[in-house]
Amino acid sequence: MATTVTTESTELFDKKTWMGGVEPMNASYGKLMMWFFLISDTFTFSALLVTYGLIRFSFPVYDPAIHGAFQFSNLYWPIPEQVYNSVPFLHGVDAPLIFVGIMTFILIFSSVTMVLAVEAGHRMDRPTVEKYMLWTILGGFAFLGCQAWEWSHFIHGTEQGMSIKEIVSGEWVSRTVFGANLTENQYGPPAFADLFFFITGFHGTHVFSGVLLNMLIFYRTATGLYQRRGHYEMVEKVGLYWHFVDLVWVFVFTFFYLV
Amino acid sequence: MSDYNHHADHVGTEVAPAQTKRIWQVFLILSAVTTLEFVIAFTIKTGYFKTSLFVGLTIVKAFYIVGEFMHLKHEVKGLIWAILLPTLFVCWLLLAMMLEGGSIFNLR
């Protein structure tokens, strides 16, 4: 069998192609697999965002002509800037979307320091890699801290809360709901809080594991492993993951907070 | 990324100068687009125009993050398409499901 394929046209696919050491798509094995992991992770995140789109469009939108002045109600989908309008240490100040904007800039900036670390790795510049990895880790922790505050605020709710009417054993009873959990939500329909917890929670988990990976990379850089290995490709691979986390936040920011 | 320095004997000596101009350029673009999104959020009336502006600006940001930071722009065509094509199908699913949601709203 093998003797029949020794023509010139098969030169592109000679035996060496199948003996290993060839990089398909000009990317190393690890990098290619990271890309394929990221595309599968994209599907998971898209599933959540698609669900958000479906559920949101199946609820009425707030219309001043019908509903009057805006107040929290489970009859329509809330306006994000009315929900996310608090900043730590500024109690009672109406600052719509300011805090989430700060979070966005923190994550973009930590993405920049990551790419600076990758660039330094290409030049085998170990101190610079260490420096920028530390900044990236700091940015990750800062973002996680912000998210913890955001969740805490969302769960505890505002002072006024939202009064709802419901039928309890055949009679209309009115009571006030404070904050949000998976079954009750003062800001709007319960599905809104559920999606908030699922989407930002899933993203936060990614940030957390990204920070752990970054710390591992920092440790291995600081102990000189990559310098001895002769290349800093691990920084690049984890960098891909970290940028992906930033990218997801860009989409979450738009579809959850802005639109 | 084939221009790796594979010489282990190069350790710690004569580090090449940093090439960070493009990185900061992209950072400025991303910051500017995010700031623009904030301005739009508080100045333009809610509607299809505003939503499509947001979606467009998000795609601009995604392009710079994936293209420059993740370096996809400089990879071979096969890899670019392997990443882009599945994403395009996802966009279609998103649109289809949003329309489906609108129809659920109409039927309620």
A8-21 pLDDT tens trace: 555 555 666 677 77
Euclidean distance between CA atoms A79 and A67, whole angstroms:
13
Per-residue pLDDT tens over the stretch A136-163: 999 999 999 999 999 999 998 887 778 7
Contact B18 A59 (CB under 8 A): no
8 Å CB contact of B23 and A115: yes
Most confident residue range from A75-84, A149-158, B8-17: A149-158
- Shortest distance, CA B101 to any CA of chain A (angstroms): 4
Higher-confidence residue of A158 and A215: namely: A215
A75 touches B: beta carbon within 8 Å:
no
Q: What are the φ/ψ torsions at residue A73 (nearest 5 degrees)? A: -155, 145
Query: Residue A186 pLDDT > 60, yes or no?
Result: yes
Chain B: residue whose CA lies nearest to A114: B69
- ipTM of model: 0.83
| Chain A residues within an 8 Å CB radius of B92 | none
Cβ neighbors of A51 (< 8 A, separation 6 or more) are A195, B97
Question: Which residues in chain A are closer than 8 Å to B6, comparing Cβ atoms?
Answer: 230-231
Domain spans in chain B, listed from the N-terminal domain onward: 20-74, 76-108
Taking CA atoms, what residue in B is nearest to A120? B18
Non-local (6+) Cβ contacts of B103 within 8 A are none
Q: What is the pLDDT of residue A12?
A: 56
Residue A44's nearest CA partner among A216, A251, A259, A191 is A251
What's the rounded mean pLDDT across residues B24-53? 91
The predicted structure's pLDDT at residue B4: 46
Cα torsion A192, A49, B69, A99 to 10°: value is -10
How far does B4 lie from chain A, in Å, by closest CA? 6
Nearest CB to A46: which of B10, B76, B90? B90
Q: How confident is the model at residue B47 (pLDDT cuts 50, 70, 90)?
A: confident
Contact B8 A230 (CB under 8 A): yes
Smallest CA–CA distance, residue B44 to chain A, in Å, is: 12
Run of H or E including B103: helix B77-107
- Residue pair A141/A211 in contact by the 8 Å Cβ criterion: yes
What domains are defined for chain A? 27-52+93-258 (1.20.120.80)
Residue whose C-alpha is closest to residue A238's, from A26, A37, A25: A37
pLDDT tens, A40-74? 999 999 999 999 999 999 998 888 888 878 888 88
| A81 vs B contacts (CB less than 8 Å) | 41-42
Count Cβ atoms below 10 Å from residue A28 Cβ, excluding itself: 17
B94 and A56 in contact by Cβ < 8 A? Answer: no
